[in-house]
Amino acid sequence: MSPMGADDAWYDQLLYSGVEWRPAMQMAAGNEFFLTSEALTGTVTIDGITFKDVRLKYDIFNDGIIVLWKTGSPIVIDSKKVDEFTVVYNGITRRFVNLRETYSGIRGFAEIMYQETSSVLAKHIKVVSKNPAAANYAEFREETKYYLVLNGNCFQIKNRSSFLDLMGEYEIPVRKFIRQKNIYFSPTSPEGFINAAAYYDSLTVKAKPE
């Protein structure tokens, strides 16, 4: 059933308005997509209206959302209209928001890894790398950068030190927490950033006056 009681034509036009997707680098090995080249099921929120059970792909080479029309045709929808979207992969729901121009240094869609008083974001991209030894060979390579949002500002987390530098007066207790819990910090293991950010939030909540 269409949202807001709208007719099917209006519903289809709002969600599936766009251009047909075509691969940008046909000769490159691999693919442009997040997690898998197969269509995933998720939700898409456009202009505040959420569409459920949408078949979609997230093109992280172009930072675009591709929805599959009823016939299976891939349609690139206007990213500027998309507020957020989710995809379900291996039973886990991944949520992305459109940051637009909110923060300097990071644009477009970012995955919400953690969100309370502070937030941990992940920006997934793919680039095309070429092999110097094989001039005709190119492949897609994925990169992920993590960011911490504090007090309305967004900072890239490159390692443990860059994270702790942002803790201010709470750096010492956060260091102690990390050491006691044996938390591992790495771009390949973002759970450490999430656990430490949650502990930081617990400290700032306690410090607030009644």
Q: What is the pLDDT of residues 12-52, one digit of tens each?
A: 788 888 888 988 777 788 899 999 999 999 999 998 899 99
Residue 193 lies in a domain: no
Give the count of beta carbons closer than 10 Å to the beta carbon of residue 184.
12
Residue 109 lies in a domain: yes
Q: Residue-wise over 69-103: b if at least 16 C-beta within 10 A, else e?
A: eeeeebbbbebeebebbbbeeeeeebebbbbeeeb
Residue 185 lies in a domain: no
Residue 209 lies in a domain: no
Residue 71 lies in a domain: yes
pLDDT in tens, 126-182: 999 877 666 677 889 999 999 999 988 999 998 888 899 999 999 999 999 999 999
Residue 165 lies in a domain: no
Cα separation of 85 and 52, whole Å? 10
Q: Residue-wise over 141-159: b if at least 16 C-beta within 10 A, else e?
A: eeeebbbbbbeeebbebee
Q: What is the pLDDT of residue 7?
A: 59
Cα separation of 127 and 60, whole Å? 9
Higher pLDDT, 113 or 204: 113
pLDDT-above-70 percentage for the chain: 90
Please list the alpha-helical segments (H only) found in the chain: 8-16, 160-164, 171-180, 191-207
Amino acid at 131: N
φ/ψ of 148, rounded to 5, equals -115, 130
What is the number of domains present in the chain? Answer: 1
Q: Is the pLDDT of residue 2 over 50?
A: no
Could you identify the residue written with the tokens 């095309």?
128
What are 34's two structure tokens? 């997040």
Of the listed ranges 27-41, 46-60, 101-115, 184-198, the one predicted with least confidence:
184-198
Q: Which domain holds residue 97?
A: 3-158
The rounded mean pLDDT for the chain is 88
139 close to 26: Cβ distance less than 8 angstroms: no
Residue 32 lies in a domain: yes
Residue 175 lies in a domain: no
Q: Is the pLDDT of residue 1 over 50?
A: no
Q: What is the pLDDT of residue 135?
A: 66
Beta bridge partners of 82: 46
Q: Is the pLDDT of residue 77 over 70?
A: yes
